[in-house]
Amino acid sequence: MAFAVGLGSARRWLRWNRNCTLGPVRVEVDWDSCESNALCMAVAPEVFEVRDDDLLYVLDEEPGEELRAKVEQAVRSCPKAALTVVD
C-alpha cells in the first residue's frame, strides 16, 4: 500500500500515530521520472545520495522507523514525484 498524503494530512497522521510503532518502510524510486536533483538527499542524507556521476543512489531501501518522517518529507519534496514510501 503506497503512503502519499498532503502535508496537512501527514501532520495529522503523525500527531495521531506519534506513539505507535509501525513496521519498516520501503522506499521506491520511479527511475524514469527521477532527475537526481538531490532535494531528497538534502532532507534525508542517511537514505539518499547523489554522487559525482549525477545519479541518485538509495543508501537504505528499508530505513528504520526513526527515519520515517524524514523519508516522507523527502518524498514530498521531490519535484518529479519520483519517490514513494511503501508500508
The number of distinct structural domains making up the chain is: 1
**Terminal Cα-to-Cα distance of the chain (whole angstroms):** 6
Secondary element (H or E) of residue 58: strand 56-58
DSSP class of residue 67? G
Note down pLDDT in tens along the chain; length 87 residues. 444 444 444 444 444 444 444 567 899 999 999 999 999 999 999 999 999 999 999 999 999 999 999 999 999 999 999 999 998
CATH number, domain containing residue 17: 3.30.70.20
The CA distances from residue 31 to 58, 67, 82, in Å, are 11, 22, 7
For residue 30, what are the domain limits? 2-86
Beta bridge partners of 58: 48
pTM of the complete model: 0.72
